[in-house]
Amino acid sequence: MAYSGRFSRAASHAVTLQAIQSSETAAGKGGVLPLLVGCGALVYLLAIGDSFLQDSDTFWQIETGRWILAHGAVPTTDVFSFTKAGAPWMSSSWLAQVIFALAMKAGWVGPVIVTAFAAASAFALFAAYLERYASALVTTALTMLAVTLTVPHLLTRPHVLALPLMVGWFIGLIDAADRKAAPRWALLIVIALWANIHGGFGLGLLLIAPAALEALRQADPARRVALALRWGAFGVAALASCCATPYGWNTLIAAGKILSLGEVLTTLGEWAPADFSRFGPLEASILALIGVALWRGLSLPWPRLLLLLGLLHMALAHVRSIESFALLAPLALARPWAEQLASRRTPPPGAKAEFVLPGWAAVASVLAIVGATIAVAPRLTYQFVETQMPEQALAAAQRNGAERILNGYEFGGYLISRRVPVFIDGRAELYGERMVMDMVRAVAGRDTAALDRFIVDYDIDATLLPAHAPIIGLMDRRAGWHRAYADDVAVVHLRDRQ
């Protein structure tokens, strides 16, 4: 029995070596495929660039960046509303906002190109890691699936600029785990940059735990205590690195505020749970994942299984987390599943080696794609979606002397871009759960008492609300008010002059 056990371990070791050698061969392809994937994704994303301009939060993100550039400091209080003017507020995405503000000097094409480039970089990194363990065909297919799942949430907003940082950070963690070592200290630069780009860096901190457990699982028992201490030190250093921002330790507080909004998170579209009323890419991906695992009898080490379940839970709970599942889950699965499949694969006699694009042809292709993109970029034109821009309605309100306008939630960003103090906008963490939910119910016509409080408490002299909102009919019948303007985007009501 002892001999059998030694033989089994030796065989297992040989299989692992075979898989690692095969992955090293894949990694030695020169990184051409990821470059092609990234360039191809960039061209595709630029072609659909108008879809990035669908959220009025983009306006206040850019205006915050302009404010930072103009004042040479980051905001610590609200400067855009008349309802929360002077209230404490920190911008956890200050660096992304500055980047967008600088890009906006070229018009909307600037932020769109920045967004497309960041997303394409994330897909290139994603493909670069998968290429170590999978064929070019599988790598390309999985990257296309990741693009499909991620595109609906690609907007000209800071979270997209953080995508390549998220992917690079996780690759650094999982690589360390597979080396049975602690992550390299240089990786801390990635999460420090992430903390200045977007408040989602908290996910990066959470990813440390499963990666550390995976490293400890693979390490020799005699080394586990020392390795655990090194991972612990790295985790503490990562937490400190997240505070390398103009806000210091307050960065952690600002990033956590959005999670304390309670009912608001079930109301805002991006925080809503996944919708399975119609068959879509997410459902197809989950079913394919389960089907492949059952069909091929694949398994996962328990730390990676916990990680996969956590990412899946996040994707099901909030649609904004689908891109995290799409980009990180395949990376967690890649090595263990590749090793298991390699141990069962017997090439048929006369099988041909996988086709690899010649280096010169790949470089020529990349140069052609990049050259075409640079040539076309100045001719690209993008327009913000009109339903988020009540331009004519705002002009009508201002012509009538309106100063304190109760605006719809989705119009706040646009009003900020026109230097109009707003009643409310997309910074839900500033306004708080109660005010946001009162506004949601009031606009839906379910809480007229909240509307009354808003008008009295904030001395409202005009409303600028979505044309489709149920509250419009109530305002038409409200004593002391009259409709002053209406179009397909918004309706303006003015208080009657005494």
Q: What pLDDT score was predicted for residue 342? A: 85
| Average pLDDT of the segment spanning 152-165 | 95
Q: What pLDDT score was predicted for residue 120? A: 93
Pairing assessment for the beta strands 462-466 and 490-495 based on DSSP bridges: antiparallel
Q: What pLDDT score was predicted for residue 9? A: 43
**In the block, which residue shows the tokens 């960041």?**
118
| pLDDT tens digit sequence for 441-450 | 999 888 889 9
CB 483 within 8 A of CB 464: no
Pairwise pLDDT comparison (271 vs 493), residue with the higher score: 493
Question: Comparing C-alpha atoms, which of 406, 401, 422 is closest to residue 475?
Answer: 406
% pLDDT > 90, the chain: 70
Q: What pLDDT score was predicted for residue 275? A: 82
Q: What pLDDT score was predicted for residue 288? A: 93
Q: What pLDDT score was predicted for residue 253? A: 84
Q: What pLDDT score was predicted for residue 188? A: 97
Q: What pLDDT score was predicted for residue 447? A: 86
pLDDT at 437 over 70: yes
3-state SS, 390-410, equals CHHHHHHHHHCCCCCEEECHH
Residues whose CB falls within 8 Å of the CB of residue 297, separated by 6 or more in sequence, listed in order: none
**For the chain, first and last CA: distance in Å?**
99
pLDDT at 428 over 80: yes
| Average pLDDT of the segment spanning 44-56 | 92
Beta bridge partners of 490: 466
Q: What pLDDT score was predicted for residue 445? A: 87
Q: What pLDDT score was predicted for residue 365? A: 57
Long-range contacts from 279-283, C-beta under 8 angstroms, 24+ separation: 281/145, 281/148, 281/149, 282/149, 282/315, 282/322, 282/325
CB 440 within 8 A of CB 429: no
Pairwise pLDDT comparison (270 vs 80), residue with the higher score: 80
Question: Comparing C-alpha atoms, which of 218, 194, 216, 219 is closest to residue 205?
Answer: 194
| pLDDT tens digit sequence for 325-376 | 999 999 999 999 999 988 766 555 554 444 444 555 556 655 666 666 666 6
State how far the Cα of 483 lies from the Cα of 479, in Å rounded to an integer.
11
| pLDDT tens digit sequence for 277-334 | 889 899 999 999 999 999 999 999 999 999 999 999 999 988 889 999 999 999 999 9
CB 64 within 8 A of CB 425: no
| pLDDT tens digit sequence for 180-239 | 999 999 999 999 999 999 999 999 999 999 999 999 999 999 999 999 999 999 999 999
Q: What pLDDT score was predicted for residue 257? A: 73
CB 60 within 8 A of CB 417: yes
pLDDT at 68 over 60: yes
State how far the Cα of 190 lies from the Cα of 169, in Å rounded to an integer.
6
CB 436 within 8 A of CB 424: yes
The radius of gyration computed from the CA coordinates of the chain, to the nearest angstrom, equals 26
State how far the Cα of 480 lies from the Cα of 498, in Å rounded to an integer.
9
Q: What pLDDT score was predicted for residue 355? A: 44
Best mean pLDDT range from 94-98, 352-356, 477-481: 94-98
3-state SS, the chain, equals CHHHHHHHHHHHHHHHHHHHHHHHHHHCCCCHHHHHHHHHHHHHHHHCHHHHCCCCHHHHHHHHHHHHHHHCCCCCECCCECCCCCCECCCCCHHHHHHHHHHHHHCCHHHHHHHHHHHHHHHHHHHHHHCCCCCHHHHHHHHHHHHHHHHHHCCCCHHHHCHHHHHHHHHHHHHHHHCCCCCCHHHHHHHHHHHHHCCCHHHHHHHHHHHHHHHHHHCCHHHHHHHHHHHHHHHHHHHHHCCCCCCCCHHHHHHHHHHHCHHHHHCCHHHCCCCCCCCCHHHHHHHHHHHHHHHHCCCCCHHHHHHHHHHHHHHHHCHHHHHHHHHHHHHHHHHHHHHHHHCCCCCCCCCCCCCCCCHHHHHHHHHHHHHHHHHHHHHCCCCCCHHHCCHHHHHHHHHCCCCCEEECHHHHHHHHHCCCCECCCCCHHHHHHHHHHHHHHHHCCCCHHHHHHHHHHCCCCEEEEECCCCHHHHHHHCCCEEEEEECCCEEEEEECCC
Lowest average pLDDT, out of 88-97, 251-260, 264-273, goes to 264-273
Mean pLDDT of the chain: 87
Phi, psi of 170 (to 5 degrees): -65, -40
pLDDT at 385 over 80: yes
| Average pLDDT of the segment spanning 44-49 | 92
State how far the Cα of 206 lies from the Cα of 211, in Å rounded to an integer.
9
Q: What pLDDT score was predicted for residue 361? A: 55
Question: Comparing C-alpha atoms, which of 125, 136, 245, 240 is closest to residue 196?
Answer: 245
% pLDDT > 70, the chain: 84
